[in-house]
Amino acid sequence: METDELRQRRWLRAIMAVSMRLMRFGEKKRPFYRIVVSDRRSPRDGRFIEQIGVYDPHQNPAEVRLKEERAIDWLKKGAQPTQTVRQLLIRSGIYKKWAEGQ
C-alpha cells in the first residue's frame, strides 16, 4: 500500500513538470491559440490539464482573455510559462500581481 509521503512526492514531481503554453487552433494561415496548462511531456496540441485563456493575434489589437485567478494559482503551484505565454501574462498584468504576492 502506498504511503501518504510517496503519494505527495509523486504529486510534487507531477506539478514540477507542468507548463503554461499555447495550443494552436484555426485554419491554415489564420491561427488562434488557447492558453493551457499541460504536462511538459505531452505534445503541443495534445492532452492538457486545464484551459486558462485564449489568444487571438489576428484581432486588432490582439485579443487576450485569461482566467486571472486560475493563472495565478498555477503560477503559485510552480507551473512554468513559455516565453510567449510569459509575455502575454506580463501585458495583462497577471505576472506582476503574482510576483507581488510572493
**How confident is the model over 9-67, as pLDDT tens digits?**
666 555 568 899 999 999 999 999 999 999 888 777 778 889 999 999 999 999 999 99
pTM score of the predicted model: 0.78
Q: Domain coordinates of the chain in residue numbers?
A: 4-101
What is the spatial distance between Cα 14 and Cα 58, in angstroms, rounded to a whole number? 34
Facing residues of 51 across strands? 36
Q: Exposed, middle or buried: residue 68 (CB in 10 Å: 0-12, 13-18, 19+)?
A: middle
Q: What is the CATH number of domain 4-101?
A: 3.30.1320.10
Q: How far is CA 101 from the centre of its chain?
A: 18
